[in-house]
Amino acid sequence: MLFFASMGIKSELISHRRRRTRRRKPIKLPYLPRGSLLTPGENRFYQYGLKPALDDLYLISFKVRLADVITVNDWEGIHGRRIAQKHLDFVLTTCATQIVAAVELNDSSHSAANRKQRDAFVTEALRVAGIPLIAFPIYGQYDKQKIRNRVLAAIHSFHR
């Protein structure tokens, strides 16, 4: 009797394994490529303003998570959550990837009340962490020398 009971258990285990290993129909995921990391305005600023102005001095990264630029000891608390899903338009680093400054391009969306609050928080969080944030408006054309001078002046005055 014990023999038949153990056979039943083995049979059930084998049957259970077969059920678990059956191939399920693959789920078609809904993801699509975005095409470009930058909006047309951001791309124009990067290609014709920021890159020509600073490419010989700094590495320029774009769409960087704020949480990759600054950190907090308590990620589970409110302060970690506040930086976890925000992004910066551009981050300037040395060739050794030391963070020098963040750059934001302000389009018309930055005039909304909730966006102003977000911008004020990001500016203050970066300031407290010792990283300057330099904001530029969107223009049709960019003067690379003016951009260079403004960025270098902001970095210099911030680190005094």
Q: Is residue 58 part of a domain?
A: yes
| Backbone dihedral angles phi then psi of residue 77, each to the nearest 5 degrees | -80, -175
What local confidence, expressed as pLDDT, does residue 122 receive?
A: 96
The rounded mean pLDDT for the chain is 87
Q: Please, where are the H alpha helices in the chain?
A: 2-21, 40-45, 51-54, 78-84, 113-129, 144-158
| pTM for this predicted structure | 0.78
Q: Is residue 120 part of a domain?
A: yes
Q: Is residue 11 part of a domain?
A: no
Residue written as tokens 């944030």?
A: 133
Q: Is residue 34 part of a domain?
A: no
Total tally of structural domains belonging to the chain: 1
With 80 as the cut, is the pLDDT of residue 10 above it?
Answer: no
pLDDT (tens digit per residue) in 103-153 = 999 977 777 778 889 999 999 999 999 999 999 999 889 999 999 999 999
Range of the domain at 114: 40-158
